[in-house]
Structure 1
Amino acid sequence: MTKLSRLFTISLLLLLPLVAMAKPHILVIESYHQEYAWDQSYIKGLESVLADDYQLSYFQMDTKRIPSSRHRSRGEMAWQRYLDLKPDLVILGDDNALKYLGPRFAKTKLPVVYLGINNNPRSYHVHQRKNITGVLERPLIKRTVATVSTFMNEPPKRMLILFDDSTTSKTVLKETFGGNTQVNVSGIKLELRLMSSWSEWQDSINHLEEEGFDAVVFGLYHTLRDDKNKHVPAEQVIAWSAKNTSVPPFGFWDFSIGKDKAIGGLVLFGFEQGRLAAELAHTILTTNVVPHSLGPKTGEKGRYLFSRSQLERYNITLPDSINSKAIFID
């Protein structure tokens, strides 16, 4: 063996352990952005399962903050990132990622796991694809409303539920209430409003008592735009709303609860969506099981989350049946 051959052989042997140690690569395509509390929460759930054994890359579609006219082009950029990285599996976070990318991945053999999906996967033409499965998100609107009525000092007769007019909000309205904006739940008259502008949202908050509402629930508020068509930061929306509401405010998601936010409720946590999706991804990559055979799965049934300071502000005492199970954020 020549000296050159020996050097080549030694170099190859040194590289073999590195090749053997290469971690499977997972690309996470987020519908939104990593400053968004929901994304932060489900990413923690993903990483709690996958961080040690997988290489994770992220692409943010940012569809909460950019105009809807640019959503498709962000989907194209996400697809290009997939082509560039050639991952072993893709995770699609929330409806917009599945809407714009699901049908394209359905034509491949790459395993795909979605999470945070409010719509029926059938609407995105992925429900029977063998390479795709995931986790559904079902906001606990009716159960939260029924729960609130058990601990308010005076049982509410009318409640307003506020949403922005995002894809998720429209889907929640369709899936939960069949598109109706006025419904009766547990003897409470609910009115649901989808808002695109910050001024409309503020106007609703400013006239709650005048319109006869006993409580308000903050749904999603992350795509509101001001009179100059500029995106209004979500933290600004929730802080202003909590400060200016004249009736007790509640929420459906963990990110809307806390000091200077909503009082609480029976809420969904992004962490659980991420954890379940990560477990599906791990199973697929370690067993070569057909993804479709694993699901879809539905996320947890919700947990009680409350702000102590907001409970005190509105002089609300939780019954023992709820207090004993609740998580308190401050």
Structure 2
Amino acid sequence: MKKRSLLFGLMATLVLSFASSAVADTKRVLILQSYHAEYPWVTDVNQGIRDALEEERFTEGDNLTLTTFYMDTKRHTDDAWKQAKAREALALIKSLSPDVIVASDDNAQSLVVRYLKDTSWPVVFTGVNADPRDYGFLDSLEAPGHNVTGCLERERFQGSIRLLKRVIPDASRIAVISDNGPTSRPILRRIKTQATESNLNITGIKAASSFEEWKQFVREMQTRADALVVVTYHVVTNEKGEEVPPGEVLRWTLENNRLPEVGFWKWAVEDGLLLSEAISGFQQGYHAGTLAAFILDGQAPREFAVTTPQRGERCINLSRAEALGIAIPRDLQTVTTLFKTQRVVK
């Protein structure tokens, strides 16, 4: 009896020891999202992160605990909300003490990550439109130097214009409209530079703060441009200073604009814009998730230069093409993601 009791005791100790070791080996990753869970870009980024981690053998529920915090700063743009969410995020980081933080889009960098420089928490950023050096946590893109690295989000302007010219060969004059949010401002600056280098004529460019400014610009450009570049339409206010739902801004644009539209994201074409060589949220997430996996395996963020994922995705909305009376070449359709309906945008 004593031998059997001793054997059972030894087995129990081994099981407890194994379970304790498994818990100790489980890695904790926090995904810090600037926006809300239902936003299509966020959905794609999250999927990319998960797929990359799993590809590198980090599986949720097995050897990985994945926590996601949504700051929801696209639907709530006031400073009080942003600061409150930043405090919540920082408190969560301190309590969770993640092995890696993956921080998506610029608001997460400006409100949270800039305060994590040289802490014990490695950070991988993604979806950053601004120059990340402006946030103060990098020495340079080539040699980050601290506990933060990541990947840039850069609009595929040249590719999108090439796609436009496949559809409208004579297009040479473009108008550019955007809201006046933090995502769009650096994009507008880069478009100006790239258009000059491409010998394109920008007949108008507008960062609209109000819906009335947006409407006026779109109306004015109808006879002055061959195409309308639409950047983002999510931070626009009405005459009372209230935010206009992006779906309302887009619906008005599609109903009143007769120029072919160029967007920069897959979701924008799915929403109803004509075409884009789109930035891929999935690729942004996958790149960041791969870096996070390497860091979980023991490498330091400073070992990885900040780069831009090279893959984009050609997208065309066939229902919008039909509404505009534009024929899409058959050969182009075979190598393009096609949408045949307009999604209802909220």
Q: TM-score range by the shorter chain?
A: 0.7 to 0.9
The corresponding residue for 2:20 is 19
Mapping for residues 154-303 of structure 1, pairs under 5 Å: 155-177=170-192, 185-210=198-223, 212-258=224-270, 261-286=272-297, 288-303=298-313
- Please give the alpha-carbon distance, in whole angstroms, between the structure 1 residues aligned to 2:330 and 2:20: 57
2:160 paired residue among 121, 126, 144: 144
Specify whether residues 209 and 289 from structure 1 end up closer, same or farther in structure 2 by C-alpha distance, changes over 3 A only: same
Structure 1 segments unaligned to the other structure (5+ residues): none
- Please give the alpha-carbon distance, in whole angstroms, between the structure 1 residues aligned to 2:326 and 2:290: 39
SS of 1:257's partner is helix
Deviations 1:255-302 (A, max 9, x none): 1003x611112111111100110011011102x112121221212242
Deviations 1:36-72 (A, max 9, x none): 1111111111122236242211111222122342323
User: Are the counterparts in 2 of residues 26 and 57 from structure 1 also a CA contact under 8 Å?
Assistant: yes
User: Are the counterparts in 1 of residues 164 and 275 from structure 2 also a CA contact under 8 Å?
Assistant: no
What is the TM-score with the length of structure 1 in the denominator?
Answer: 0.87
2:34 paired residue among 31, 35, 53: 31
Structure 2 segments unaligned to the other structure (5+ residues): 139-143, 341-346
2:122 paired residue among 111, 115, 120: 111
Mapping for residues 41-190 of structure 1, pairs under 5 Å: 41-50=44-53, 52-53=59-60, 54-70=64-80, 71-127=82-138, 128-152=144-168, 155-177=170-192, 185-190=198-203
- Please give the alpha-carbon distance, in whole angstroms, between the structure 1 residues aligned to 2:92 and 2:249: 32
SS of 2:112's partner is helix
The offset of 1:183, in angstroms, is 5.2
The offset of 1:190, in angstroms, is 4.5
- Please give the alpha-carbon distance, in whole angstroms, between the structure 2 residues aligned to 1:189 and 1:67: 30
Sequence identity (%): 26
Are 2:283 and 1:311 equivalent residues in the alignment? no
After superposing the two structures, state which structure 1 stretch, 222-231 or 212-221, moved more.
Answer: 222-231
- Please give the alpha-carbon distance, in whole angstroms, between the structure 1 residues aligned to 2:17 and 2:239: 60
What is the TM-score with the length of structure 2 in the denominator?
Answer: 0.83
SS of 1:138's partner is coil
After superposing the two structures, state which structure 1 stretch, 169-178 or 56-65, moved more.
Answer: 169-178
The offset of 1:216, in angstroms, is 1.0
User: Are the counterparts in 2 of residues 144 and 266 from structure 1 also a CA contact under 8 Å?
Assistant: yes
The corresponding residue for 2:344 is none
SS of 2:183's partner is helix
Q: Which amino acid aligns with 2:304?
A: L
User: Are the counterparts in 2 of residues 183 and 191 from structure 1 also a CA contact under 8 Å?
Assistant: no
User: Are the counterparts in 1 of residues 118 and 147 from structure 2 also a CA contact under 8 Å?
Assistant: no
Specify whether residues 100 and 199 from structure 1 end up closer, same or farther in structure 2 by C-alpha distance, changes over 3 A only: same
Q: Which amino acid aligns with 1:236?
A: E
Q: Which amino acid aligns with 1:298?
A: T
The offset of 1:133, in angstroms, is 0.9
The offset of 1:109, in angstroms, is 2.4
Deviations 1:139-197 (A, max 9, x none): 01233224313321x6234221111111111122234436x9x9574443352211122
SS of 2:216's partner is helix
